[in-house]
Amino acid sequence: MDFLNALVAFLNFVLVPGTAYGAQLALGALGVTLIYGILRFSNFAHGDTMAFGTMFVILITWGLQGLGVSFGPLPTALLALPFGILVCAAFLLITDRFVYRFYRRERVKPVVFVMVSLGVMFIMNGLTRFIIGPGDQRFADGERFIIRARDFKEMTGLNEGLAIKTTQGITLVTAIIVVAVLFWFLNKTRTGKSMRAFSDNEDLALLSGINPERVVMITWLIVAALATVAGTLYGLDKSFKPFTYFQLLLPIFAAAIVGGLGNPLGAIAGGFVIAFSEVTVTYAFKKVAGYVLPDALAPSGLAQLLSTDYKFAVSFVILIIVLLFRPTGLFKGQSV
Amino acid sequence: MKKLLLATAATSLMAGTAFADGHAKEVKLGIILGFTGPIESLTPSMGDAAELAMKEVTDSGLLLDGAKVTPVRGDSTCVDAGAATAVAERQITGDGVKGIVGADCSGVTGAILSNVALANGVVMVSPSATSPALSTAEDNGLFFRTSPSDARQGVVMTEVLMEQDIKEVALTYTNNDYGKGLADSFQAAFEEAGGTVTINAAHEDGKADYSAEVGALAAAGGDRLVVAGYVDQGGSGIVRAALDSGAFDSFHFPDGMISAKLVENFGSEIDGSSGQHPSPSEELSQRFTDLVGGAFEATSPFTPESYDAAALILLAMQSAGSMEPGDYKDKVMDVANAPGEKIQAGELAKALQILKDGGDIDYVGATDVELIGPGEAAGNYRVVGFEGGAEVTAGRK
């Protein structure tokens, strides 16, 4: 019984939130890694692209709610998601047409591209705040829980409760679907193959007749979809605030680099590595240890490695260790 | 050219003297509040309340034989100590204020007190600085506040919890002067009363997700979670995450959390929780609301305290028969406390007359002012409970 209690406490406070957070980071990191692999620069505007896309999902959700449309037990935002993706994609294509294409034609160094993306980041940052404001927005509706902590305790008779939020479930399911579709697209379709060829060797790809503008366009479309989905899931599960999306940039880049920049599989692994490191390193294991260990050995302190204030520092440390000892990441990506 | 300069200088000199003569009966008071910054939504009505007291005194024509009280507003910014001290310096040396209503936030108040008010010997009465650290700050008897120190709130919280037989709590606070001061004073009081604080952890405001913080709080355990935060900020996030994960189902809320927003956010989910916030009795707040008559938000936090702060300075001047801070600083405690005739908000003219005739007053004002210790309000708290998705008054302390 004690062992089960320990397991449930661990599930409730580490595994379930860590998995949902990991899936959100993985989707964000996939976008970063695709841009790095195909367009060959680190897109600093990614966090704000997420905020920008999510903002439109929220606005459309509010519109749908106003019209009385609902999605039963699921959040209405899922219905609004495709429209949000379209608006975000349109904006990214316009940005590419008027900003990035010029620098691509000039064949500027990657570092110039990074600075350009920084500028785009500030513009999107400002636009988002201008349209929806800098404050917190809540747009989740529908059933809040799959299992409530109190119900779980009554059902099982355990001391510890397990709560799984609907948004956590949706996050995981959506992430699996999106990743499966993406990998099928990259590996099986003609367009996906041409994108991978372009990523591997640009000149060879051009020689074999691949249209670079088309590859670039499709990349932006996929990135818009990934960013909007990741942002909406994060916002549903936690809350939407432009500044927190900007801060997400750090763990997302950490995830992409840890996994290996340019490698989609690595981005997913990296997302979960970062998420679980953040959660486990800052979790106080007192309760779990108290159940498992005999009384004499049970810790009197909190058994917490780092205070939760240092959550973001964990991604920094992992980033530095990986860059020092394995610059290409866990799965062989391009070195930074 | 030389003559012209000389003539101008002479004229301005004469004008200056004439100006001073004409306004010998003018008392200038500074109002230094954070008109921009994190509490900018509270300060307009605080400033208006202080000016209301000044206007009342001016209209009576009784202060120091008919002196006129002129307010001088300044922006403390609430967070920038440099800007706040510069404003105070300018008001004292430039405008010649004889007392300051302010400042508002604990950090800038301490900075103005030690850097400007002490050096120039000017009295400060803060309506809203609640940090316990200010009780022991060196002030030469120049600093008073009409709001209670959070050391007092820590003791009140302890009493509320002990009465409900809660001996073990987890504690989280917003990471600033207010949160830290309140958390530390509560922990000290609670442990002295025989309770246990299982964890005393900070949380940052403005984050999207507090599940990690709640994980640590849940691991430490406790009968109730004390949330010394802000309802518009991380405080609500912590409560949300604690309810969602089933970590805690009852809470204790200090003043930063008590608001209509709390019930709006959580409804019946927080039934069985408790809390407290400084608040004058219904009767006094109704009286003050009537006095204000809709000119500004009379029940906004620290607004009645601002009225009292300005009134105390002016009554002390009358009692001392002088507008010089050095003369009237010792009279502040006298006019605020017994013995003497009780003075309600809106009765400043009566008070001035009594003092003029050599009598004693016991200023009650808008918040039942009673200054204790180093010149801070004793503090009247309303204890709240939560039942059936609504906030109810569960007593007073």
Which position has the token pair 């700050």? B137
Write out the DSSP string of B86-121: HHHHIIIIII--SEEEE--SHHHHHHHIIIIIHHHT
Cα dist. B119→B92, B113, B122, B343 in Å?
11, 9, 8, 33
Interchain contact, A238 vs B199, CB within 8 Å? no
Which position has the token pair 């519109």? A63
* CA atoms of B63 and B321, how far apart (whole Å): 9
Neighbours of B140 (CB within 10 A): 11
Same domain flag for B296 and B350:
yes
Distance to chain A for B215, nearest Cα, Å: 6
CA B256 to chain centre: 13
Beta bridge partners of B32: B74, B102
| Residue A68 backbone class (left: φ over 0; alpha: ψ -120 to 50; beta: rest) | left
Helix (H/G/I), strand (E/B), else coil: B383:
strand
Q: Measured between alpha carbons, how far apart are the two ends of chain B, in Å? A: 72
Write out the DSSP string of A224-270: HHHHHHHHHHHHHHS-B-HHHHHHHHHHHHHHHHHH-BT-HHHHHHH
pLDDT, one tens digit per residue, over B224-253 is 999 998 877 788 889 989 988 888 989 999
Same domain flag for B42 and B91:
yes
Beta carbons of B336 and B370 less than 8 angstroms apart: yes
Beta carbons of A285 and A300 less than 8 angstroms apart: no
pLDDT at A283: 84
Distance to chain A for B176, nearest Cα, Å: 13
Q: Which CATH architecture has domain A2-325?
A: Orthogonal Bundle (1.10)
pLDDT, one tens digit per residue, over A231-240 is 999 999 888 8
Looking at the complex, does the CB of residue B220 fall below 8 Å from at least one CB of chain A? yes
Which position has the token pair 């208006």? B48
pLDDT at A184: 94
* CA atoms of A123 and B97, how far apart (whole Å): 46
B26, two tokens: 């003018």
pLDDT, one tens digit per residue, over B172-184 is 998 877 888 899 9
Same domain flag for B85 and B205:
no
Same domain flag for B267 and B311:
no
Which amino acid appears at position A295 of this protein? D
Report field, pTM of the whole predicted structure over 0.80: no
Neighbours of B102 (CB within 10 A): 33
Residue A309 DSSP symbol: G
pLDDT at B171: 93
* CA atoms of B257 and B235, how far apart (whole Å): 7
Interchain contact, B216 vs A304, CB within 8 Å? yes
Burial label for B253, CB within 10 Å (0-12, 13-18, 19+), is: buried
CA angle A101, A102, A107 (to 5 degrees): 90
For chain A, the residues whose C-beta falls within 8 A of a C-beta of chain B are 9, 12-14, 17, 21, 144-145, 148-150, 152-153, 161-163, 165, 234, 237-241, 243-244, 278-279, 282-288, 302-304, 307-309, 311
B241, two tokens: 């995450």
Beta bridge partners of B383: B276, B395
* CA atoms of A142 and A148, how far apart (whole Å): 15
Same domain flag for B245 and B106:
no
Closest CA to A232 of A89, A68, A56, A86: A56
Which residue out of B210, B245, B250, B264 would a mutagenesis test of the A interface target, given it has the greatest number of A Cβ atoms within 10 Å? B245
A185, two tokens: 């697209």
pLDDT at A336: 45
* CA atoms of B199 and B237, how far apart (whole Å): 18
Same domain flag for B165 and B216:
yes
Distance to chain B for A18, nearest Cα, Å: 10
Q: CATH no. for residue B187? A: 3.40.50.2300
Residue B70 DSSP symbol: E
* CA atoms of A157 and A160, how far apart (whole Å): 9
Interchain contact, A283 vs B208, CB within 8 Å? no
Same domain flag for B291 and B208:
no
B4 within domain boundaries: no
Same domain flag for B289 and B346:
yes
Place B24 in a pLDDT band, splitting at 50, 70 and 90. Answer: low
Closest CA to B72 of B37, B96, B52: B96
Which residue out of B173, B198, B205, B207 would a mutagenesis test of the A interface target, given it has the greatest number of A Cβ atoms within 10 Å? B207
Nearest to B245 among A13, A244, A288 (CB): A13
For residue B65, the enclosing domain spans 25-149+282-377
Interchain contact, B208 vs A17, CB within 8 Å? no
* CA atoms of A87 and B161, how far apart (whole Å): 53
Residue A15 DSSP symbol: I
Which position has the token pair 């930074």? A336
Rg (CA), chain B: 23
* CA atoms of A205 and B107, how far apart (whole Å): 63
Which position has the token pair 């000119």? B295
A237, two tokens: 């599960």
* CA atoms of B21 and B342, how far apart (whole Å): 36
Same domain flag for B294 and B333:
yes
Q: Which residues of B touch A285 (CB under 8 A)?
A: 219
B17 within domain boundaries: no
Asked if omega into B254 is within 30° of 0 (cis), the reply is: no
How many domains is chain B partitioned into structurally?
Answer: 2
Beta carbons of B378 and B344 less than 8 angstroms apart: no
Beta carbons of A46 and A31 less than 8 angstroms apart: yes
Looking at the complex, does the CB of residue B330 fall below 8 Å from at least one CB of chain A? no
Which residue out of B197, B200, B211 would a mutagenesis test of the A interface target, given it has the greatest number of A Cβ atoms within 10 Å? B211
Residues 96-135 of B with CB under 8 A from A: none
Q: Which residues of A touch B271 (CB under 8 A)?
A: none
Same domain flag for B228 and B321:
no
Beta bridge partners of B196: B168
Closest CA to B49 of B281, B361, B309: B309
Same domain flag for B385 and B268:
yes
Same domain flag for B220 and B327:
no
pLDDT, one tens digit per residue, over B114-125 is 999 999 999 999
Q: Which residues of chain A have pLDDT under 70?
A: 333-336
Query: B202 phi and psi, to 5 degrees?
Result: -85, 155
CA angle A173, A177, A178 (to 5 degrees): 115
* Interface predicted TM-score of the whole assembly (ipTM), two decimals: 0.77
B12 within domain boundaries: no
3-state helix, strand, coil in chain A (%, to 5): 75, 5, 20
Beta carbons of B195 and B162 less than 8 angstroms apart: yes
pLDDT at B6: 57
pLDDT, one tens digit per residue, over B324-381 is 999 999 999 999 988 888 999 999 999 999 999 989 999 999 988 888 888 888 878 8
Residue B67 DSSP symbol: P
